[in-house]
Amino acid sequence: MTGRIGTQTSAGELLELVRSGRATTRGALQQVTGLSRATVGHRLDRLFRAGWLREGAGGPVGSPLGGRPSITLEFDDEHAVVLAADLDTRHARAALLTLTGEILAESGGTLVVEDGPEPVLGELGGWFAELLRKAGRRPEEVCGIGLAVPGPVDTDTGKVVEPPMMPGWDGYDIRGRLARSFADHTGSTAFVPVLVDNDANLMAYGEQRTGHPGCAAFVLVKVSTGIGAGVVVGGTLFRGIDGGAGDIGHIRVPEGAKALCRCGSYGCLAAVASGGAVARRLAEAGVPAASGSDVRELLAAGHPEAAALAREAGRSVGEVLATVVTLLNPGVLMIAGDLAGIPFLTGVRELLYQRALPRSTAHLEVVTSRLGERAGLVGAGALVVEHLYAPERAEERLRALGV
């Protein structure tokens, strides 16, 4: 470790050093921050009283300042839990997670986003209450709720902005309604913060943190009923100025000139290459299919026409991704969602490597999801934890706890 953070380092910043692994002993914290032993001890005491830190085993080597082996410091992930939900157009999943992302309980079922925010968010509150009962945890242990939605989100307000696949949700107070639903179903009187983000963003965040933490530029493309991408750069989600980054499903493609998209325009990539578009083409050919999840089931069963159309869709997406890869130069490009199987991936690779410059793909890994349907849940949980335990927010919470 080189360099010092400064003598004004807060307790929240010490917590960040421990959580990140940059400094995990009292001596290392002194060395990194330049704080005195007494000051480090005082600020750590606040974190211990809050229940956020615990002592681990003695270290294998002595303190950087000399003396006997130091006791390691660890983030205590048992003092609270996180609730998370991932909404798709016709299905949802919910989970109770530890602060380090371990799933303690989960559930899933039909939940139609077109029914509107009132009933959907009301139903989620009931799911959350059941998860707590299943895991034997109290509502007071929940420190935050994360929600993934299939539309662009202004993360400052938590509201979706003109979402093509979420009629009736534009500008709606999702945070407030979900917090009330949680309180109504659990009887909790404590304020529980709710964070909302786009589903592809949170899938990308979950996958990058758990499977590719060293990747400096990571792109995930979700192809289900619609198409969207999540981008993680330097370990941080890239959202654009108002949450619109990654909305590649509405890039115009030549083969879609006559295809009407749900956004009201013609020629969007999602209108010709999404799971919904493939389902429509299958239905026109007499194959029962109404959504991306139906296509996924047909692909799993080895249906030849579904496989052919998925490969064709992959080629359309691959052509757009050639531009994305050239622009962002990612180390990992992950394909996820209902169509993320061999036929679709084959189509993506065919066009991607044909159209992108060799320089852009020389060190690129093109892979499929590792977390599967849990990716959005893991990402939503991580988003809540990173928000609540970020240095400035941690300081506010410590003061509110009176420590």
pLDDT tens-digit map of 85-115: 999 988 999 999 999 999 999 999 999 999 9
Residues 104 and 137 sit within 8 Å (Cβ to Cβ): yes
| pLDDT, greater one: 180 or 243 | 180
> What digits encode the pLDDT tens for the residues 37-83?
999 999 999 999 999 999 986 555 454 555 556 789 999 999 999 99
| Residue 8 pLDDT grade (very low, low, confident, very high; cuts 50, 70, 90) | confident
Query: pLDDT tens-digit profile of 324-342?
Result: 999 999 999 999 999 999 9
Q: Which residue has the tokens 């506010």?
A: 396
Query: What would the two tokens of residue 130 be?
Result: 């059941």
Give residue 113's identity as a one-letter amino acid code.
V
Calpha distance 124→358 (Å, rounded):
46
Contacts of 380 (CB under 8 A, 6+ apart): 84, 85, 86, 146, 147, 148, 195, 197, 202, 206
How many CB atoms neighbour CB 1 within 10 A?
Answer: 10
Average per-residue pLDDT for the chain: 93
| Dihedral angle sign, alpha carbons of residues 336, 341, 347, 349 | positive
pLDDT at 2: 42
Q: Which residues contact 57 (CB under 8 A, 6 or more apart)?
A: 71, 72
Mean pLDDT along residues 306-329: 96
- Tell me the pLDDT tens digit for each residue of 279-296: 999 999 999 998 898 999
Distance, in Å, from the CA atom of 48 to the CA atom of 233, rounded to the nearest integer, reads 33
Give the model's pLDDT for residue 6. 55
Q: What is the pLDDT of residue 135?
A: 97
* Rounded Cα gap, residues 354 and 177, in angstroms: 47
Cα 174 to chain centroid distance, Å, stands at 17
Q: Is 393 helix (H, G, I), strand (E, B) or coil?
A: helix
* Least confident interval from 14-23, 258-267, 299-308, 378-387: 258-267
The neighbouring-strand residues paired with 252 are 268
Q: Are 246 and 223 in contact (CB under 8 A)?
A: no
φ, ψ at 5 (rounded to 5°) = -75, -40
Nearest alpha-carbon partner for 55 in 28, 74, 77: 74
Helix count and strand count (H, E) for the chain: 14, 14
Contact 116, 171 (CB under 8 A): no
- The fraction of the chain above a pLDDT of 90, given in percent, is 87
Could you give the CA distance from residue 149 to residue 221 in angstroms, rounded to a whole number?
15
Pairing of strands 91-97, 103-110: antiparallel
The residue type at 26: R
For the stretch 340-389, pLDDT in tens is 999 999 999 999 999 999 999 999 999 999 999 999 999 999 999 999 99
pLDDT per position as a tens digit, 197-213: 999 999 999 999 999 99
Of 40, 30, 37, nearest to 10 by C-alpha is: 40
Q: Which residues contact 245 (CB under 8 A, 6 or more apart)?
A: 231, 238, 239
Inter-residue contact 280 to 235 (CB < 8 Å):
no
What is the C-alpha to C-alpha distance for residues 281 and 305, in angstroms, rounded to an integer? 10
Element (H, E) at 160: strand 159-160
> Are the beta carbons of 313 and 292 closer than 8 angstroms?
no
Percent of the residues in the chain that have a pLDDT greater than 70, as a whole number: 95
Does the predicted model carry a pTM greater than 0.85? yes
Measured over the CA atoms of residue 45, residue 46, residue 49 and residue 53, the dihedral's sign is negative
pLDDT at 252: 93
